[in-house]
Chains A and B, each alone.
Chain A
Amino acid sequence: MIRGGRSYVTSAPSFSNDAKKLLVCTGNTVSVFSAATGLQITSLEGHTAQVTTLIVVPASSAAQKILCYCWTASLDGTIRHWDFSGPELLQTINAQVPIYSMVIPSLLSEPQQTDKRYDSSKLVAYVSVEDTSLVREGSTELRGHIRRFNLAKERLPRGDTLKETEEPKSIVISPSGEFFGIRHKCKIHVWDVPSGGSVSKKMTLHHTKVINAFAFHPTERIIAAGDVTGRVLIWRGFGNRKLALGSQKKNARAMVDLDNPGVRDEDDAESCTTWHWHSAEVNVLNFSSDGAYLYSGGREGVLVVWQLDTGKKKFLPRIGSPLLYFIWSPEPTLSSVVCADNQIHLLKMPSMEILRTISGIKPPPSLPKMYEGLSSTVAFDRSSGIAALCTENYCVQLYNLLNDRGISEVQVCERNHQPGDEITVVVTAVALSLDGSVMSTTEVKLPEDGIGGLVSLKFWESEPDSKTFTLSTIVYEPHKDAGISAIAFHPTRSMAVSTSFGGDFKIWVSNSDKSQTDKDSSWICHAVGSYKKKPMTAAAFSGDGTVLAVAAENVITLWNPDKNILLSVLGATLTPITKLCFAGKSEFLVAASHFPKPELSVWNTSKLSSSWSYGLRIEAITSALDSSTFAVLALVPKIFRKSKSKKNVFRGRDGAILLFNGSDPKPVSIWTVMKAEGGSISFLEGDKSQLRLAYVNGSHEYVVFDPNSDETHERSAADYEGLVGEEETGDFGYTSMYGELPDYDKKRKEDAESLVTPFVSSERPWETIFSGSTLNFPPLQKLCGEFFESLMEKSNSVVE
């Protein structure tokens, strides 16, 4: 089993001391990437919940640059100390409460006595925790606590609380280690780090807007804060009165009477200036290591460099995604900017060139309402395990599911994406041919005031070796002004079909067969068909490619794709069909519809009749090439999921993958999954003739597993280790998200048969089934038929 698609951007990454490695929090693990190649080197595994903070122990001298120690804090309530060159876990401290943020000032402020630090009792950490003892529904208690921990002690005391807030806040520390602070609504609370055992002093800076980010100047007493409206405020000389050190006290007193321009109320700062360039909220603020520049970024995806003294600006525009973090490395020429689309860009510094990108799987695009559920934004290349995913910036990302790495990106429309702008161009569908050599995309330009709408269909072809696609053909308005509902590729030949809501479908063929030169290959329309002017909503080729099934709203029409002859019409379903799929090479055709009444039906194309149907809402269908196995991704109805007796079965999962075999209405296996809405599944048939099932969920996290294996999950993870290669290391990051039901093997199935029988005979099985001890439950697999039947009345098969 392979899990992947983890987010790289949940918390700030960190450079190692020699700037050759980049440590990234990826779910429950910390992944170490090489800054030179952008590939994963190793990962630190051990936390059982999301890692929230990552602190690399800084080196104070050149000799120490090879030291690779780091501290991590996680929501599982532990703080761990690692040697990430190993990787080796050195120390675990259990704080017992989820830690949202942690700073260790002494690492920064006392570089001269680093060696003694660990055994001294001075290693003090300030952590932001959630007091789980107070978590109750609707409680108004202040759950977020800022506490002081001494990491040097073996057993942790509860720690003294500095501040309580409604929510756990992230702590920001000054690069010198003198101050740390949190932002709280329109205020910034700043504490100084006491040198002795004294209690730290606190001061507050006020603003009129909610503050989104702030940063400390590395050497001077300057705080920069960014608010939701895009303003950047610079407080100079903060805390001269309240946080004054002994030697500075005299000066501070002298300044009390001075007029402090721009400073609100009685705040302790000399001056406050405001810079305004960002149009939306500021998410990123960071001073350069020498303090001469301030980096800021926000939702518009532009990194702005302010010269601190003059306020002059420099830009890195068109990043295309909201910025989340900006960090600089010990190497002055390298820094990194982290974007919301799961990309970490490494920048070459003075020129701000993007050197390299560590590319995670990109999140799904936000589509306008009218395209929700209609678009198919994920396509799979079955042989190589590559998924083509539509992304926000009008690209198709090619992502290798087997080794969890982005391969390339294909710019579908030549536009720059500006986050936050109104969506006017949408890539609605992507489809890959079976051999993965041809890709087809559709895009829609939404009209302004009814003018200028445009639908276009594009065919892309790839060279056999290269992993990227080049544009072969553009078809403007393939179905006049009607939108395209589906694209399907012929399994063996270069032929494709596109169906439209305008009531016709078109068969496209590539003329590359005829012409010798590859360069001239283009796709041309081979045939047009329609059935009673009904909107065509889905299409599929049969396994051998001789039959084309096109759904005309609620009937299925079967065509000969070569001669464009209507072969037959399958009886009507109740609701418009949205998805069609032939079950492998068998004569069974699977159709799904979901509005207004969801239905999954299986049709026998040789008898032209319906075999069986369920009232399930189906998100995706896939079928194996050779066998008649097919799998569907079904959304479990909400009412059913919420009912108390089944809560422990679903544990917050909203979907199920059901594996069927041919005409048998009883599923062979069932897995429940999370975030099934907008998800997609596909069989992958690799070179080892091994059947695997890939599931990509609504937020583009994925899992690849063998649907037939009875092995436990750890075993199969180990199996794939070799296949995946060095970079891939078993990803347990999502155990919390994709749990699996206990596996049911076929032997147990037979045994269970006798158990189930009494329940099946009962008229209302569900009333009895869950009463009694959970140990007596028959396997779900056996129950499924009855279970789903009880949810809906079985629709009568239509015989013509």
Chain B
Amino acid sequence: MEEELRVRLNDHQVSKIFPVKPKSTAKSVSKSETTDSRYWSSFKPNSNIPKLVSSVAALAFSPVHPHSLAVAHSTTVSLFSSHTLSVSRRFSFKDVVSSVCFRSDGALLAASDLSGVVQVFDVKERMALRSLRSHKAPARFVKYPFQDKLHLVSGGDDGVVKYWDVAGATVISDLLGHKDYVRCGDCSPVNDSMFVTGSYDHTVKVWDARVDTSKCIAEINHGGPVEDVVYLPSGGMIATAGLNSVKVWDLIGGGRMVCSMESHNKTVTSLCVGRMGLDEAAENRLVSVSLDGYMKVFDYGRAKMTYSMRFPAPLMSVALSPDSSLRVIGGSNGMLFAGKKKKLPDAEKKATSFWSVNSQVEESRRRALRPTYFRYFQRGQSEKPSKEDYLVKEMKGVKLARHDKLLKKFRHKEALVSVLEEKKPANVVAVMEELVARRKMMKCVSNMEEGELGLLLSFLQRYCTVQRYSVLLMALTKKVLEMRAEDINGKEEFKGVLRNLKREVNQEIMIQQSLVEIQGVIAPLMRIAGRI
């Protein structure tokens, strides 16, 4: 009766029950879960890819289904199936492969190596169709124009950008202008003859193959050696990576910088553009990887970083599959970090619905319950309310933990012991504060038996120097040691705890001292700065 009465009274303002609550901690101002973080963290890491021999220089996805993945590492290009992430083919080179690219129909694959040769392979037949030799220094990038199947763009350490006729294996034009190594380039997604190249001379040049002056039509200065450049899907904007920064430029607007994002700590090595999902409304994001081991996702529309992820190695290259189901990042130690999205079980759903009529009939036959069944008495308990049902809400009682119940019965010491056993320091401190408010803390300490005292001491030893609790716990530690000195002294079981406690306190004092020293150093500086 008493319990029932109390439960009923809970929602009235006069007599509430307040469970002991730990002090609230600071909340982060930003929301913990954004659509971006949910999307990018939904790539489930796949750990059964064998470690490759050396640094993964380049990655490329085939533009046609099933989007197989070409990985350039050392002197080989391995072709991975995007489904199983296993190697299906290998192409060998004489030198280290620097760049790899699929043709728009996915039938051919072009790769450049450090000997300066650009080779074109047939993906299915695994044979080299053409070897394009013209670069006098290591070739650094090779790219097929967006839809064009006949030409190639390549660049190398000789500073020359070459526009190839693949069928004839001839250079159509040598585009001169870069004063240093050409490291990267990309072809426009809207125009087959437009492409950009980035070089270590800090510039990114925009070329048009139709203009035969072999002079660039636009030039932008990144302000550092350009490591990677990509066209954004609109075709009017490009993103460049160099040093620690990623910059977005508006080409149509005359090479104006739209935004600059400097959130990496080391050189950004690779960029790629990814779509968040497949629906119409999905937004594009710029993904960058860097030698500092971070993958960062930029929302270049809002000019802010929306997601960041740490990998255990310097990262060299990144690629996202065109169907946004696979994210692959290559590390400098040969690790391939692949993340795969779970497929929606669309197909399976249909299959079950086809058979469901049958199974329902079976179900209803099975459910002819009789009072002799046990389940007869449980029937309808898990029934969900339908829409038109009027819901009578059960009054919610306050949820009381074990220590709350004990506190309610004024069994103070038992409450303290029970919360100490729970090992949640915030709760323990909250119970202690409640006991202090009831003026029963000292009584509890003096009534504790040996085992309980040990529990308390080990708790104090662990948490008394934690900043959040230290005001209460340090004072309590002192009091406990004073009050129970004769019980603690000379007991074997407490020796270890006491030794640790002493060490903790000494360490804390040392930290405090060094902090004071630092403050002493900083204070005059701050004062001088304030005066200026």
A residues bordering B, Cβ < 8 Å? 314-320, 343, 345, 351-354, 357, 409, 411, 414-416, 422, 424-425, 445, 447-452, 454, 474, 476-477, 481, 511, 515, 520, 522
Whole-angstrom CA separation of A61 from B170 in the bound complex:
119
Q: Are B479 and A319 in contact (CB under 8 A)?
A: no
State whether the Cβ of B362 lies closer than 8 Å to any Cβ in chain A: no
Whole-angstrom CA separation of A476 from B468 in the bound complex:
10
Whole-angstrom CA separation of A632 from B432 in the bound complex:
44
Q: Are A452 and B475 in contact (CB under 8 A)?
A: yes
State whether the Cβ of B433 lies closer than 8 Å to any Cβ in chain A: yes
Contacts of A345 in B (CB 8 A): 14
Point out the residue from A319, A320, A451 that lies within 8 Å of B476, measured CB to CB: A451
Q: How far is the CB of A306 from chain B (nearest CB, A)?
A: 14
Whole-angstrom CA separation of A354 from B12 in the bound complex:
7
Whole-angstrom CA separation of A319 from B14 in the bound complex:
6
Q: Are B439 and A424 in contact (CB under 8 A)?
A: yes
Q: Are A476 and B29 in contact (CB under 8 A)?
A: no
Q: Are B472 and A474 in contact (CB under 8 A)?
A: no
Contacts of B6 in A (CB 8 A): 317
Kindly report which residue of chain A lies nearest to residue B438, judged by CB atoms: A424
Whole-angstrom CA separation of A688 from B438 in the bound complex:
49
Whole-angstrom CA separation of A449 from B480 in the bound complex:
12
Q: Are B439 and A448 in contact (CB under 8 A)?
A: yes
Q: Are A520 and B29 in contact (CB under 8 A)?
A: yes
Q: Are B436 and A320 in contact (CB under 8 A)?
A: no
Point out the residue from B438, B471, B476 that lies within 8 Å of A481, measured CB to CB: B471
Contact code string B21-36 (vs A, CB < 8 Å = 1, else 0): 1011001010000000
State whether the Cβ of B437 lies closer than 8 Å to any Cβ in chain A: yes
Q: Are A474 and B5 in contact (CB under 8 A)?
A: no
Q: Are A451 and B475 in contact (CB under 8 A)?
A: yes
Contacts of B15 in A (CB 8 A): 316-320, 354, 416
Contacts of A474 in B (CB 8 A): 23-24
Q: Are B479 and A451 in contact (CB under 8 A)?
A: yes
Point out the residue from A318, A319, A476 that lies within 8 Å of B23, measured CB to CB: A476
Whole-angstrom CA separation of A748 from B2 in the bound complex:
69
Whole-angstrom CA separation of A318 from B18 in the bound complex:
11
* 17 contacts across the A-B interface (CB closer than 8 A): A314-B2, A318-B9, A318-B14, A345-B14, A351-B8, A353-B9, A409-B13, A415-B437, A416-B17, A422-B439, A448-B441, A449-B442, A451-B441, A451-B475, A452-B441, A481-B471, A522-B27
Given the contacts A451-B479, A452-B475, A511-B29, A316 and B437 also touching, CB distance less than 8 Å: no
Contacts of B375 in A (CB 8 A): none
Q: Are B5 and A315 in contact (CB under 8 A)?
A: yes
Within 8 A of A (CB), among B451-483: 471-472, 475-476, 479
Whole-angstrom CA separation of A449 from B437 in the bound complex:
11
Contacts of B475 in A (CB 8 A): 450-452
Whole-angstrom CA separation of A434 from B366 in the bound complex:
70
Given the contacts A320-B15, A454-B433, A351 and B5 also touching, CB distance less than 8 Å: yes
Contacts of A320 in B (CB 8 A): 14-15
Q: How far is the CB of B443 from chain A (nearest CB, A)?
A: 10
Point out the residue from A315, A319, A451 that lies within 8 Å of B436, measured CB to CB: A451
Kindly report which residue of chain B lies nearest to residue A418, judged by CB atoms: B438
Q: How far is the CB of B445 from chain A (nearest CB, A)?
A: 10
Contacts of A411 in B (CB 8 A): 16
Whole-angstrom CA separation of A351 from B15 in the bound complex:
15
Contacts of A422 in B (CB 8 A): 439
Q: How far is the CB of A392 from chain B (nearest CB, A)?
A: 13
State whether the Cβ of B1 lies closer than 8 Å to any Cβ in chain A: yes
Contacts of A409 in B (CB 8 A): 13
Contacts of B16 in A (CB 8 A): 318, 411, 414, 416
Contacts of B471 in A (CB 8 A): 454, 477, 481
Given the contacts A314-B1, A315-B2, A354 and B441 also touching, CB distance less than 8 Å: no
Whole-angstrom CA separation of A145 from B432 in the bound complex:
56
Kindly report which residue of chain A lies nearest to residue B439, judged by CB atoms: A448
Whole-angstrom CA separation of A292 from B5 in the bound complex:
20
Contacts of A319 in B (CB 8 A): 14-15
Given the contacts A319-B14, A411-B16, A352 and B5 also touching, CB distance less than 8 Å: yes
Q: Are B12 and A449 in contact (CB under 8 A)?
A: no
Kindly report which residue of chain B lies nearest to residue A320, judged by CB atoms: B14
Q: Are A414 and B18 in contact (CB under 8 A)?
A: yes
Q: How far is the CB of A522 from chain B (nearest CB, A)?
A: 8
Whole-angstrom CA separation of A354 from B5 in the bound complex:
11
The count of residues in chain B whose C-beta lies closer than 8 Å to any C-beta of chain A is 31
Contacts of A315 in B (CB 8 A): 2, 5
Kindly report which residue of chain A lies nearest to residue B468, judged by CB atoms: A476
Whole-angstrom CA separation of A354 from B21 in the bound complex:
26
| 5 A-B pairs with least C-beta separation | A318-B15, A452-B436, A451-B475, A414-B18, A424-B437
Contacts of A314 in B (CB 8 A): 1-2, 5
Given the contacts A314-B2, A414-B21, A515-B29, A354 and B14 also touching, CB distance less than 8 Å: yes
Whole-angstrom CA separation of A424 from B18 in the bound complex:
16
Of A314, A414, A422, most buried by chain B (CB within 10 Å of CB) is A414
Within 8 A of A (CB), among B327-362: none
Whole-angstrom CA separation of A318 from B2 in the bound complex:
13
Kindly report which residue of chain A lies nearest to residue B2, judged by CB atoms: A315
Q: Are B437 and A445 in contact (CB under 8 A)?
A: yes
Whole-angstrom CA separation of A351 from B24 in the bound complex:
36
Given the contacts A353-B9, A452-B436, A515-B29, A415 and B14 also touching, CB distance less than 8 Å: no
Contacts of A351 in B (CB 8 A): 5, 8
Whole-angstrom CA separation of A315 from B9 in the bound complex:
11
Point out the residue from B9, B23, B27 that lies within 8 Å of A354, measured CB to CB: B9
Whole-angstrom CA separation of A314 from B9 in the bound complex:
14
Q: Are A452 and B5 in contact (CB under 8 A)?
A: no
Q: Are B12 and A353 in contact (CB under 8 A)?
A: yes
Contact code string B415-446 (vs A, CB < 8 Å = 1, else 0): 00000000000000000110011110110000
Q: Are B14 and A448 in contact (CB under 8 A)?
A: no
Contacts of B437 in A (CB 8 A): 415, 424-425, 445, 452
Of A318, A425, A451, A476, most buried by chain B (CB within 10 Å of CB) is A451
Kindly report which residue of chain A lies nearest to residue B31, judged by CB atoms: A520
Contacts of A414 in B (CB 8 A): 16, 18, 21
Kindly report which residue of chain B lies nearest to residue A409, judged by CB atoms: B13
Q: Are A424 and B14 in contact (CB under 8 A)?
A: no
Contacts of B438 in A (CB 8 A): 424
Contacts of A449 in B (CB 8 A): 441-442, 479
New contact pairs (16) apart from A414-B16, A474-B23, A476-B23, CB-CB < 8 Å: A314-B2, A315-B5, A316-B15, A318-B16, A320-B15, A351-B5, A416-B17, A445-B436, A450-B475, A451-B436, A451-B472, A451-B475, A452-B433, A452-B472, A520-B29, A522-B27
Q: How far is the CB of B309 from chain A (nearest CB, A)?
A: 25
Q: Are A448 and B12 in contact (CB under 8 A)?
A: no
Q: Are B23 and A447 in contact (CB under 8 A)?
A: no
Q: How far is the CB of B18 from chain A (nearest CB, A)?
A: 4
Kindly report which residue of chain A lies nearest to residue B29, judged by CB atoms: A520
Kindly report which residue of chain B lies nearest to residue A356, judged by CB atoms: B12
Kindly report which residue of chain A lies nearest to residue B429, judged by CB atoms: A452
Contacts of A416 in B (CB 8 A): 15-18
Whole-angstrom CA separation of A409 from B12 in the bound complex:
12
Whole-angstrom CA separation of A357 from B13 in the bound complex:
10
Whole-angstrom CA separation of A506 from B437 in the bound complex:
27
Contacts of B13 in A (CB 8 A): 357, 409
Of B16, B21, B437, most buried by chain A (CB within 10 Å of CB) is B437
Contacts of A425 in B (CB 8 A): 437
Whole-angstrom CA separation of A345 from B5 in the bound complex:
16
Whole-angstrom CA separation of A411 from B14 in the bound complex:
10
Contacts of A447 in B (CB 8 A): 436
Contacts of A343 in B (CB 8 A): 14
Within 8 A of A (CB), among B29-49: 29
Whole-angstrom CA separation of A416 from B437 in the bound complex:
11
Kindly report which residue of chain B lies nearest to residue A514, judged by CB atoms: B29
Contacts of B2 in A (CB 8 A): 314-315
Contacts of B1 in A (CB 8 A): 314
Whole-angstrom CA separation of A352 from B437 in the bound complex:
30
Contacts of A357 in B (CB 8 A): 13-14
